[in-house]
Amino acid sequence: MQDNLRINGDRLSQRLQELAQIGRIAGDGVCRLALSDEDRAGRDRVVGWMRDLGLAVKIDTIGNVVGVRAGREDGPPVMTGSHIDTVRTGGRYDGTLGVLAGLEVIATLNDAEITTKRPVAVAFFTNEEGSRFQPDMFGSLVYTGELPLAVALATKGIDGLTAGDELTRIGYAGPEPVGQPRAHAYVELHVEQGPVLEAGGFRIGAVEGVQGISWSEFTLTGQSNHAGTTPMRMRKDAGYVAAKIAVFARKLAKEIGGYQVATVGALTMSPNLVNVVPNHVVMTVDLRNTDEARLQEAERRLFAYADEIAAAEGVGLTRRTLARFAPVAFTPNLVDRVEAIAKDFGLPVKRLPSGAGHDAQIMAAVCPACMIFVPSVGGISHNVEEYTAPADLAAGADVLLRLVLELAE
Ligand code: GLV
Ligand code: MN
Ligand code: MN
């Protein structure tokens, strides 16, 4: 085992900065919504790097990209990676760190002229974020067979465009069958996107699992009417019902406590005019918990309250599930290895659950899987100000390198 091998932190930071120029937005953030022109340009850049590093690039029919480095023996590769799509107001590290650290692992192996026993692969999955097309993580869901390809391709985005059409338009509807190559194991490096590591002075997170995620969309239909002449008792105010649901979700999360969180992240109101009672609202609620029973309780109570408050106002309500994932536990001995390797490197390490969704939780259904976290300054993410110090990026990539080497031998 090459215990002294380390990645090149400057080269990793250089690639991160270069990719961040594609879809760059004000404040040093990034907007590369899945299957957009910016996503295409980002994909082209990463595929170019993969080819420069000598990887065999495979693109499947949902646009997942896997670059494979041959081993001394054939067989399923040890896979690492993440995603390069972003939310509309994203930062520079969410997803891209995992992909570019994977390329840095490959570059390091190339420089040291090491051929591992098993192949090593770097993947980026289509539409991890789910901001444009729901559910999130749909590239990895199709890869593992949990979501039928045809359903994913037919998915309509927030702009009304269809995922399959957009995939073809950007030139990433590839020829490879989904689910190939199969992975021997999957390891993903990611920024924590929360405050725990920084607050405790930890450099590495050994991620034990990912909390459950429930995304719902409510459509409320009332009656638009004159804001001055309509008595309060005669209103069918969809905006009022939306506000009550949003406040209830917040109170519910506090009441259930622990890891329970609740977010109303999208809300559109019509006709959205100062002097008209709103007749139409579409809103989303994101509920998450590490405990499936508590998450189900949160759903039950939220849905019951929404029905009740809508009925009382004479407002129609329909509800649609946009995404639903049960909590996932990562492979215990891999979590242990992340912890042990960090300790070996003298890096303060903490075991913790992930609050965000990740492709690794989907991959965990088909192979041993785990994640490595590095601290996010101020716990800020899904925000242009997302930041992780270069030394922490490099430390995470070093832990990744060591674990990939172990798994590939
Ligand atoms: C993906 O980033 C999510 O957890 O929302
Ligand atoms: Mn991510
Ligand atoms: Mn994200």
Q: What is the pLDDT of residues 25-56, one digit of tens each?
A: 999 999 999 999 999 999 999 999 999 999 99
Count of CB atoms situated within 10 Å of the CB of 181:
18
Closest ligand 1 atom to residue 136 Cα is: 1
Query: Residue 84 CA: which ligand is closest?
Result: 2
What's the confidence (pLDDT) of residue 2? Answer: 77
Instruction: Give the Å distance between the CA of 338 and the centre of ligand 1.
Output: 22
Instruction: Give the Å distance between the CA of 263 and the centre of ligand 1.
Output: 12
**Helix, strand, coil shares, percent, the chain, to 5:** 35, 25, 40
User: Which stretch of DSSP H or E encloses residue 188?
Assistant: strand 185-191
Alpha-carbon distances of 156 from 27, 130, 152, 160, 259, rounded to whole Å: 30, 11, 9, 5, 31
What's the confidence (pLDDT) of residue 129? Answer: 98
Instruction: Give the Å distance between the CA of 38 and the centre of ligand 1.
Output: 19
**pLDDT tens digit string along 172-213?**
999 999 999 999 999 999 999 999 999 999 999 999 999 999
User: What amino acid is encoded at 157 in this protein?
Assistant: G
Report the C-alpha gap between 150 and 203 in whole angstroms: 42
For the question of whether the overall pTM of this predicted structure is more than 0.75, the answer is yes
User: Which stretch of DSSP H or E encloses residue 263?
Assistant: strand 261-263
**pLDDT tens digit string along 76-120?**
999 999 999 999 999 999 999 999 999 999 999 999 999 999 999
CATH class of 212-325: alpha beta
Domain spans of the chain, in order of start: 2-210+328-408, 212-325
User: Which stretch of DSSP H or E encloses residue 269?
Assistant: strand 267-270
Average pLDDT value over all residues in the chain: 98
What's the confidence (pLDDT) of residue 1? Answer: 59
**pLDDT tens digit string along 377-391?**
999 999 999 999 999
Instruction: Give the Å distance between the CA of 90 and the centre of ligand 2.
Output: 10
**Residue 136, ligand 1, Cβ within 6 A:** yes
**Residue 322, ligand 1, Cβ within 6 A:** no
What's the confidence (pLDDT) of residue 352? Answer: 98
Residue of 136, 188, 192 to test ligand 1 pocket, by largest number of atoms within 8 Å of CB: 136
Rounded mean pLDDT, 128-137: 97
What's the confidence (pLDDT) of residue 282? Answer: 98
What tokens appear for 401 in the block? 């390198």
**Residue 356, ligand 1, Cβ within 6 A:** yes
What's the confidence (pLDDT) of residue 294? Answer: 98
User: What amino acid is encoded at 6 in this protein?
Assistant: R
Backbone angles phi, psi at 363, to 5 degrees: -60, -25
Rounded mean pLDDT, 357-380: 98
What tokens appear for 172 in the block? 């990433």
**Residue 360, ligand 1, Cβ within 6 A:** no
**Residue 362, ligand 1, Cβ within 6 A:** no
Tell me if domain 2-210+328-408 and domain 212-325 are identical in fold.
no
**pLDDT tens digit string along 308-353?**
999 999 999 999 999 999 999 999 999 999 999 999 999 999 999 9
Provide the sign of the torsion angle of the four alpha carbons 99, 100, 103, 109, taken in this order.
negative
Closest ligand 1 atom to residue 94 Cα is: 2
* Ion ligand 2 — residues with CB < 5 Å: 94-95
Query: Residue 134 CA: which ligand is closest?
Result: 1
Protein fold of 2-210+328-408:
Aminopeptidase (3.40.630)
**In the structure, what pLDDT confidence band is assigned to residue 357 with cuts at 50, 70 and 90?**
very high
Report the C-alpha gap between 309 and 311 in whole angstroms: 5
Instruction: Give the Å distance between the CA of 293 and the centre of ligand 3.
Output: 25
Cα angle at 57 between 53 and 59, to 5 degrees? 150
DSSP state for residue 80 in the 8-state scheme = E
Percent of the chain at pLDDT above 90?
99
